[in-house]
Amino acid sequence: MTNNDLNISLEFSAGAELLFGNIKKRQVTLKGEEKWTIRKLLKWMHANILTERPELFIQDESVRPGILVLINDTDWELLGELDYEIQPNDNILFISTLHGG
């Protein structure tokens, strides 16, 4: 473990967890010298923890329509979306929108 390791928690809710081995919350360590953006995180997730049908999570290098990304309980749109620079101990939540009633 080096000083550059970035520890964050990833959460999945309302069905998004089904694409990630049905695990709702996990701690991950992102390694490397460079800074981590959400764009880079999505690639990492695709390569490392996405277990089911990638097209239901990623589309055109972003999340597919109908998935909201929330960083520390704030809509990622307010924080720069794909360009947001991930900070230590960030909580990043991926939530599918529901339509049933």
Nearer to other proteins, 41 or 71 (CB): 71
Nearest distance in Å: CB 76, other proteins: 9
Nearest distance in Å: CB 5, other proteins: 27
Nearest distance in Å: CB 1, other proteins: 30
Nearer to other proteins, 4 or 23 (CB): 23
Nearest to 64 by CA among 6, 8, 15: 15
Residue 61: half-sphere exposure toward Cβ, Cα within 13 Å = 7
Where along the sequence are the contacts to other proteins (CB under 8 A)?
Answer: 13-15, 24, 55-56, 64-66, 68, 70, 73-75, 77-78, 93, 95-101
Nearer to other proteins, 5 or 61 (CB): 61
Tokens matching residue 44: 């990492």
Q: Exposure of 89 by Cβ count < 10 A (0-12 exposed, 13-18 middle, 19+ buried)?
A: exposed
User: What are the residues whose beta carbons fall under 8 Å from the beta carbon of 24, sequence distance 6 or more?
Assistant: 11, 12, 13, 17
Nearer to other proteins, 4 or 87 (CB): 87
